[in-house]
Structure 1
Amino acid sequence: MLTPGPDHPITLEPSARRWRAYFNGHVIADTNDALILREADLAPVVYFPRHDVSVEYMGRTAHQTHCPYKGDAAHYTLTLDGEIAENVAWSYESPFEAMSPIRERLAFYPGRVEVYDIDDAAVNPHPRERAAEVTAREEVAEVDDSDEIDEIDEIVRHTDSGSGASQGEHWPPNVSGPDQGGAR
């Protein structure tokens, strides 16, 4: 085990931006809690919290690597929409003490999975802004759409509740039944 220092610096910093990982047409990771690891002359690496990654599409492989500064890394294969990418991500599940913040986080190999930052405000408006927007929308709905909302509510109450029965009283029939002397 080696310790990061002036001859081999490693820094970890929380990202101020939102990060995503994209594979085969799908966002497979999305977080505003990424850690950026900068190691010596290597490219920065984005570590995603495991709970912000779609791990249901991933399986651990037998492949392992060892870093004298971070420890042993487990690798993961990604299977999504019939495409399989072997050993596309890694995780230090029991990193050395100096690197403990990356425990329970995943990183992706560049070129295999697209990792990019996005403007958080564009996809996740701040709560106060969002609350003001929702309140304004609700006020407009109350003024303009009250009849439409009542009609929709009436329809919803007459749909199946999951038990096989309507949630409201039956409507009167809007058609008459067949005549007695009709075709048999």
Structure 2
Amino acid sequence: MSDHITIRKAAGKWVVRAGGAVIGESDQALELIEGSYPPVIYFPRGDIGMAFLEKTSKTTTCPHKGAATYYTVTSPDEELTDAAWSYEAPIKAVAGIKDHIAFYTDRITVEQL
């Protein structure tokens, strides 16, 4: 693993909400800590209502994690474009986040219950 990235099981149960609606809940979430950035919670796809997410054409590449795919999240009130992302084929060093989704917490609520 990159020497500045740590992935570990996130303690407790986590919930993700968009526009007040619960779109996911997990006790199997992962916490990714990268350098001095705030920790990011990654939810297993199986714990997210994927019907609320639609893949967009946006992609980015991180030299430490690989290519990221983005998703629009639809809530009861609005569509939040590119509000979630996933590393569908992460580099080997961070393979633990494969099949997980993370959310921009300035637009989506992610909290520990």
Which range, TM-score by smaller chain?
over 0.9
CA–CA distance in structure 2, aligned partners of residues 44 and 82 of structure 1: 28
1:63 matched residue in structure 2: 58
Aligned partner (choices 19, 22, 25) of residue 20 of structure 2: 25
1:103 matched residue in structure 2: 98
Give the superposed CA RMSD. Answer: 1.0
Q: How high is the TM-score relative to the length of structure 1?
A: 0.60
| Greater relative contact order structure (CA < 8 Å, 6+ sep) | 2
Deviation at 1:82, TM superposition (A): 4.7
CA–CA distance in structure 1, aligned partners of residues 111 and 74 of structure 2: 20
| Bigger strand share | 2
Segments of 4+ in structure 1 off by > 4 A? Answer: none
Aligned partner (choices 35, 39, 43) of residue 40 of structure 1: 35
Instruction: Please tell me whether Structure 1 or Structure 2 has the larger radius of gyration of its CA atoms.
Output: 1
Which structure 2 residue ranges, 5 or more long, are not aligned?
A: none
Equivalent residue letter for 1:80: S
CA–CA distance in structure 1, aligned partners of residues 61 and 23 of structure 2: 25
Q: How high is the TM-score relative to the length of structure 2?
A: 0.96
Equivalent residue letter for 1:83: E
| Bigger helix share | 1
1:9-33 deviations in whole A, cap 9, x for unaligned? Answer: 1000102210011111211110000
- Is 2:48 the counterpart of 1:50? no
Percent of aligned pairs with the same amino acid: 37
Deviation at 1:110, TM superposition (A): 1.3
Which structure 1 residue ranges, 5 or more long, are not aligned?
A: 119-184
2:2 matched residue in structure 1: 4
Number of residue pairs matched? 113
CA–CA distance in structure 2, aligned partners of residues 64 and 22 of structure 1: 23
1:60-88 deviations in whole A, cap 9, x for unaligned? Answer: 00001110000000000011225110000
Aligned partner (choices 59, 69, 89) of residue 74 of structure 1: 69
Q: Residue 28 of structure 2: SS of its match in structure 1?
A: coil
